[in-house]
A and B are shown apart, each in its own frame.
Chain A
Amino acid sequence: MSNLQRSEDLRALVPRLQAMSVVATLIFVALLGRLCQLQILEGEHYTRRAERNFIDEVVVEAPRGRIFSSGGDLLATNRPAYTLYVTPRPRVQIESEDPNKPPVGARVPLEDGQIDELAGLIDFVDEADHDAFVDKIRERRGDEKNGIYALAVRSNLSWQEYARIETRREALGEWVEIRESARRFYPRSELVAFLTGYVGEITPDGLAQAAGAYRPGDRVGKTGIERQWENYLRGRLGRRSRVVDVHGRAVADPPADALAALPLEESPIPGQDIHLTIDLELQQVAANAFEGKPAGAVVALEPQTGRILAMVSVPAIDPNRWQQPIPQEAYREWAESPFKPFIDRTVQEHFFPGSTYKVVSSLAALDDPTFDPEREIVCDGYVKYGGRKFKCTHKHGPVNLHQAIVQSCNVYFYTLAMEDVLSLERQEIFARRTGLGERTGLGINSETKGRIPTEAFEAREGTYQRGVQLNSAIGQGNVTATVLQIAVLYAAIANGGQVMTPFLVDRIETHDRKLVFASTPQVRRDLEAIVNADRQRIHQALIGVVNDPLGTAYSERLPNITVAGKTGTAQVGAAERRQAGIVRPEWDTTKDHAWFAAYAPAERPRIAVAAFVEHGGVGADAAAPIAMKVIEHYLSRTDDPSAAPIRPAGEPPPLPGQRLDAGAGPRGPRLGQLGGKSP
């Protein structure tokens, strides 16, 4: 063992020690430089990234705008509810001590077991409902991009579900959250089902089209006003943010800097309230009038303005049903029902107008200078044309135009068609002038146009025969119209010849009652081409239909009110007749569709009504009583203002709520023009 002695060559070590000092210093300077780069030069960038880590933005739902009737009754409102949110983001694995577990930083997706555990706490209506729920979460659990947002997986939890989930909260983990929200409630259930429509979860297609305006799980208007005015009803989402830790949990006492970094809270702006023109009482009367009649529709409107007073389609589904998951069984039942409860019969379905179309035929005939309305044609109960027999209801004997309308004689119109007074072309011109064959412009529930045959159309279809011209003249053949179109047509005759654009929305107000929009009556098509004398002639004939003892609706006349109207019986196609037969006592598909279109009081019309009963039989028996009840109720109401006189053609229509004789006032914003101005 050597002794520790002062070595001779220690001095030789000094250069190496100096070199080491230099190297060490240089390396520390390099570390300090790197720190300077990260902390001072790029510090801002990393601060932003740190914020992205801990800031969690929570969307605050805006209460949806409500829908009111004209009398201020609630038709659609919100009720407090609980919505189940799931954030299926893969979790970051932190501090994994167990090597069998995923490494630190690994994203661990939700396990099937976790999803099943949550699903076990929810009452599903059927197997499909359960599967849809589980699939929805599974689809999103691996989605890095969207998985970070809370997804509304179940709206309108029941109290039992709420309690069950809350008690299992800790065990379920932080990915499950229940938030207070609102559920849509329709206090009048079926009564205004097709008008308000309903809200439901946005579809993937809708989501794609919305381009970020909606998030998955959002509820949007699906039909009716809810859909048409979605952008007004929806309001604007608010934003709240919070500090979360790496597990996504909100932190109770976060560092002050973190709180300061949170973006400002944005309060939600409630949706705007929509006031409809609907007279709820009248709507109820109209709906009640359908008792015992499984399917049909009635539309009542103000002839001078086009304001819709009542609009009923039966049967209808309670829109509240859509706020809960619907068992497939129930859905199938609706889909297979012969009464088609999904269809809004006022605008979505078109039917032969039958004899109600004769006012169009008459207008067309009167346009022909060679036509003499006083000339009598003898009705033998049928007419032969092209080897076919065209039947009338019975032998009417000699009838002129007035009597042909009053007694609804088909032969009279067949003859005019045979003589080419009622050519298809002329019929088409007048049908279009009176608003048939095109949408009325109401804008809800995907309105259909109906059909007005032209020679070109018939030729294309290969169905053109001269016989078509005959059938068209009495509203059969290929002529179809919606109930709303017929109501608008009769309103036009009532108001002096103006086809109005019907409207349902009276005004829109913000939640603090500032006027956003007010409807003004819109003339869509002016019947000025019609000589007032012609209109008067038809008007007189329509009065005769109800008030002449020979009139087809004489039996239905009202004691105090002079009603002008026209019955219609639309023949059901032979094929349809054969197909079904009697399903239920009140539903005989061999029976014709019944129509009655009218306005009253005849002197100064205040209401125009079109009633339609599917397979109701003869118009006078089935449809007329419904229309009469509506008219009687509306006109008998003491609080109603005085009747409006018939307005001469060409004069501008009055403002909403303003009667014609009140004089012209300032014009409000027109349809489609929107501003925050309040009058």
Chain B
Amino acid sequence: MSRLGAPPTRMGRLLRSIDWVVVTLAIGIVALALINLNSASSSAWSGKVQTQMRWIGLGTIAATIVAALDYRVLYRLAYPAYAFGVGLLALVPLVGIMRNEARRWLGFGEFQFQPSELMKVLLLLALARYLQDRGGEKRHRSRIRQLLVPALLVGVPVSLIIVQPDLSTSIICVLLTMSLLALGELSVKEMTGIAITGLVTMVLGWGFFMLDYQRSRIDVWLNPEAYADNKGYQTIQAMIAVGDGGFVGRGVSQGTQNVLHFLPYRDTDFPFAVFAEEWGYLGTSMVLIMFLCLVMWCLNIASQARDRFSAHLCVGIAALFFWHILINVGMVLQLLPVTGVTLPFFSLGGSNALTMMIGIGILLSVSRSRRERA
């Protein structure tokens, strides 16, 4: 299949088996993210940025290993890996490290790690496997039973995560599950029903069940100026940063909201605001289009998949990126309330970067198998 007609060498086969679209997009996004992270932490490639780079290096190794594996190995490892992830999560309440009144980390000396992040990918593996094994057998079992297993697969880790507490990761896990089910399990009617139920629950919850602090968070989101000196501060400063970027941006490390520290949480929750101020609309549209390309490419690989497992896996990876981007960017642009959902690669956070890299690795693996067999 070589276009040049030369006999395929071993090296040539390897190079051709790599999905260069994914690799190029990943390298581009990671490069921009690191430049931005360095600007946001205003300390020339040191400290936090170096740590982040180490994690991305680790992630790259992990991605390479995963990419090198036949995805059928992933299929076989799906349940054990899931069990391993749940085991780690179960360890967190026992030996986890407390930070900011939340127990989310496991530590091995210097090395600190958030199992809930890794759980996102492991959940995708388990769900994909289950949907391969049992999915599509629509007439054989009752609907309830058919959906019970996915509900349990997501329910167990989410209940462990939500008590850490970590609402953002829990929501992402639920959204990932929904996305996978949306591919082959749920009918349009059911999805509409779920969406309506979700909306009604939210409205009712806002009216009756939410605690005051949760309700006030919504208030702040809808009207941040009224809370400008307190809870609305970060929202407003993020908006100012985004708008200040204008069309061409202020230049790297030249955004005043960033370098003069008016913007809080520059490297964790609001790196996109930093990026928007310094790169302008040119930069933000470029990054969003790169992310969109990645998501679309995932869906493209899924459409060419040979089996339900790999198709669901690719949709899962697409959903993983999509929901993170939507919730984080939506928050920065004041379209959604403030949550702790990170922007892939842009946000400081080792476990998250590692997880995202593993996601890229899975994508490469599936893509490779698709090409090899084509």
Chain A residues close to B by CB (< 8 Å): 1-2, 4-7, 9-10, 12-14, 16-17, 20-21, 24-25, 27-28, 30-32, 34-36, 38-40, 42-47, 49-51, 53-54, 90, 92, 94-95, 97, 99, 103-107, 144, 243-247, 251, 254-258
**Closest residue of B by beta carbon distance from A34:** B333
Question: Could you tell me if A104 and B262 are in contact, using CB atoms closer than 8 angstroms?
Answer: no
Instruction: Identify which of A9, A43, A97, A103 gathers the most chain B CB atoms within 10 Å of its CB.
Output: A43
B-side contacts of A246, CB under 8 Å: 260-262
Task: Name B's interface SS.
Answer: helix
User: B229 touches which one: A6, A24, A105 (CB < 8 A)?
Assistant: A105
The reply to whether the CB of B341 lies closer than 8 angstroms to some CB of chain A is no
CA distance A658 to B161 in the complex (A): 98
B-side contacts of A13, CB under 8 Å: 183-184, 302-303, 308, 311
Question: Could you tell me if B285 and A106 are in contact, using CB atoms closer than 8 angstroms?
Answer: no
**Closest residue of A by beta carbon distance from B254:** A255
The 8 A-B residue pairs with the shortest CB-CB distance, nearest first, are A105-B233, A46-B243, A43-B246, A50-B244, A245-B260, A255-B254, A39-B281, A28-B292
A-side contacts of B289, CB under 8 Å: 28
- B 207-236 binary contact with A (CB < 8 Å = 1; else 0): 000000000000000000001111111100
B-side contacts of A144, CB under 8 Å: 229
A-side contacts of B285, CB under 8 Å: 32, 35
Chain B residues close to A by CB (< 8 Å): 72, 75, 100-101, 132-133, 136, 179, 182-184, 227-234, 237, 239-247, 250-251, 253-257, 259-262, 264-265, 276, 280-281, 284-285, 288-289, 291-292, 295-296, 299, 302-303, 305-309, 311, 315, 318, 322, 326, 329-330, 333, 335
**Closest residue of B by beta carbon distance from A30:** B335
Shortest Cβ distance from B278 into chain A, in angstroms? Answer: 10
User: A258 touches which one: B237, B256, B308 (CB < 8 A)?
Assistant: B256
**Closest residue of B by beta carbon distance from A33:** B333
Q: A36-B281, A105-B233, A245-B260 are in contact. Are A47 and B244 (CB under 8 A)?
A: yes
Shortest Cβ distance from B334 into chain A, in angstroms? Answer: 8
Question: Could you tell me if A95 and B284 are in contact, using CB atoms closer than 8 angstroms?
Answer: no
Question: Could you tell me if B292 and A25 are in contact, using CB atoms closer than 8 angstroms?
Answer: yes
Question: Could you tell me if B256 and A46 are in contact, using CB atoms closer than 8 angstroms?
Answer: no
Instruction: Identify which of A7, A34, A38, A44 gathers the most chain B CB atoms within 10 Å of its CB.
Output: A38
Question: Could you tell me if A20 and B308 are in contact, using CB atoms closer than 8 angstroms?
Answer: no
Q: A54-B256, A246-B260 are in contact. Are A10 and B307 (CB under 8 A)?
A: yes
Q: A39-B246, A39-B284 are in contact. Are A254 and B260 (CB under 8 A)?
A: yes
Q: A6-B307, A39-B280, A50-B262 are in contact. List 18 more A-B contacts (CB 8 A).
A: A4-B309, A9-B136, A10-B311, A13-B183, A13-B311, A28-B291, A31-B288, A35-B285, A38-B239, A38-B333, A39-B247, A46-B242, A53-B262, A54-B262, A104-B233, A104-B265, A106-B230, A245-B261
Question: Could you tell me if A45 and B243 are in contact, using CB atoms closer than 8 angstroms?
Answer: yes
A-side contacts of B322, CB under 8 Å: 24, 27
CA distance A364 to B110 in the complex (A): 108
Question: Could you tell me if B231 and A105 are in contact, using CB atoms closer than 8 angstroms?
Answer: yes
Listed A/B pairs (20) with beta-carbon separation below 8 Å: A1-B133, A2-B133, A4-B307, A7-B136, A7-B308, A20-B299, A21-B299, A38-B239, A39-B242, A39-B243, A46-B242, A47-B243, A50-B262, A54-B260, A54-B262, A99-B100, A103-B230, A105-B230, A107-B230, A255-B251
User: B243 touches which one: A7, A17, A43 (CB < 8 A)?
Assistant: A43
Question: Could you tell me if B240 and A50 are in contact, using CB atoms closer than 8 angstroms?
Answer: yes
Q: A40-B246, A47-B243, A258-B256 are in contact. Are A27 and B232 (CB under 8 A)?
A: no
A-side contacts of B257, CB under 8 Å: 50, 53
Shortest Cβ distance from A129 into chain B, in angstroms? Answer: 34
Q: A7-B308, A92-B233 are in contact. Are A97 and B295 (CB under 8 A)?
A: no
Question: Could you tell me if B182 and A20 are in contact, using CB atoms closer than 8 angstroms?
Answer: yes
Shortest Cβ distance from A251 into chain B, in angstroms? Answer: 6
**Closest residue of B by beta carbon distance from A12:** B184
CA distance A21 to B299 in the complex (A): 7
Q: A2-B133, A13-B183 are in contact. Are A20 and B242 (CB under 8 A)?
A: no
Question: Could you tell me if B307 and A105 are in contact, using CB atoms closer than 8 angstroms?
Answer: no
Question: Could you tell me if B299 and A255 are in contact, using CB atoms closer than 8 angstroms?
Answer: no
A-side contacts of B247, CB under 8 Å: 39-40, 43
CA distance A97 to B132 in the complex (A): 44
Question: Could you tell me if B264 and A104 are in contact, using CB atoms closer than 8 angstroms?
Answer: yes
Shortest Cβ distance from A596 into chain B, in angstroms? Answer: 70
Question: Could you tell me if B330 and A31 are in contact, using CB atoms closer than 8 angstroms?
Answer: yes
Q: A6-B307, A10-B311, A54-B262 are in contact. Are A257 and B288 (CB under 8 A)?
A: no
CA distance A43 to B136 in the complex (A): 50
**Closest residue of B by beta carbon distance from A90:** B229
CA distance A258 to B250 in the complex (A): 10
Question: Could you tell me if B307 and A50 are in contact, using CB atoms closer than 8 angstroms?
Answer: no
**Closest residue of A by beta carbon distance from B183:** A16
A-side contacts of B305, CB under 8 Å: 10
Question: Could you tell me if A35 and B264 are in contact, using CB atoms closer than 8 angstroms?
Answer: no
CA distance A244 to B132 in the complex (A): 59
Question: Could you tell me if B256 and A255 are in contact, using CB atoms closer than 8 angstroms?
Answer: yes
**Closest residue of A by beta carbon distance from B79:** A1
CA distance A55 to B362 in the complex (A): 49
Shortest Cβ distance from B139 into chain A, in angstroms? Answer: 12
CA distance A251 to B259 in the complex (A): 10
CA distance A260 to B335 in the complex (A): 32
CA distance A50 to B242 in the complex (A): 10
Question: Could you tell me if A38 and B242 are in contact, using CB atoms closer than 8 angstroms?
Answer: yes
Q: A7-B307, A107-B229 are in contact. Are A50 and B182 (CB under 8 A)?
A: no
B-side contacts of A4, CB under 8 Å: 72, 75, 132, 307, 309
CA distance A128 to B165 in the complex (A): 53
Question: Could you tell me if A35 and B284 are in contact, using CB atoms closer than 8 angstroms?
Answer: yes
CA distance A366 to B132 in the complex (A): 132
A-side contacts of B72, CB under 8 Å: 4
Shortest Cβ distance from A103 into chain B, in angstroms? Answer: 7
CA distance A13 to B229 in the complex (A): 50
CA distance A10 to B280 in the complex (A): 42
